[in-house]
Structure 1
Amino acid sequence: MNQKVVVSQLRKLLEHLTYQVKGLSNSHLKTLGFERQLFKNHYSTLNGYLEECVQTLNRIEHNTLHLSSTQWQLEHLVEQCQAIQKVIYTLPAGKRQVLTPQEELAGYERRLLKMVADLEHQVATATGFQEQQQLLSTLEMTQQRLNRCQTAQKDYSWKKSVT
């Protein structure tokens, strides 16, 4: 694979990880549990580790002379990114950004609307009667869930405006 393509993909991955770390309510962590040889320094935040990864990527991008060294650095950078990602996904829920009930309900509504649209399409393209009946049943239950979700959103908005 072309080195420029790999560097571009790694840059996108680091941008995504940076976005995920910004979503954490507390990026100061006491122990991250990274292997000693994975990073040059020990940092108190995930941002420090991400910055080291960005610096490594910048060095790789500007160093085109030593191909074997560059290959090792790319593999090492991928391992670092995977380790950071693993830490992000294993954080307890309290460390992650907390959604308000309104945001959570809006997310449910978006997913339910997509499910309803998908089910309606499946019903329209179903070939067998039994398959169509099963899909219609599932569609009806999903629409009921959507209605309850929308009602909960209205109730929450109303309660919020009263208080």
Structure 2
Amino acid sequence: MVAEALLADEADDVGRALELVLDFLGPTEGSRDAGNLLLISVFADILERECPAEWRTVRGVPDVPRLAEVEDDPRRIAEYVDHMRRVGHVVGTADAKASIAMAAEAALTAQHYLARRQHGMDDPAGLVTQVRQATGMRPERLWGALKTACTKVRSLSAETGTPG
């Protein structure tokens, strides 16, 4: 359902589908983890299938940090602060920098996961456990980075008129 919504390029459908998946999974940590692993796999599949060569590393792995646009520049920080204010959350520059740093770490971790998948080591549960123990990163950040990269690939395809 999430993949179909993303493939259809319907932003409202993607949001609703994600909400349904997360609501369906329920409040327990085990069910949330299962849903997060599913979302990591779904977005990784889409990204691997549709990412154009120019947005891949020299090893052929989708360049998630570049696609997710997680650079730490003053303009991006100001955009984040403005966005958060528009949605009702007052944040400062330090909060914005921390959020961007977490997004950058998630994007690098997602790219690492894609590289491991390319070599037949597709173990999202192991990766999530390893990352959670090492950094405390929530798995939502991983699929969030993959989803952002998928959305960018879709918009690039629409701009150039090439199929994803």
| Structure with greater contact order relative to length (CA < 8 Å, sep ≥ 6) | 2
Pick the TM interval, shorter chain. Answer: 0.3 to 0.5
Question: TM-score by structure 1 length?
Answer: 0.38
- Structure showing greater Rg: 1
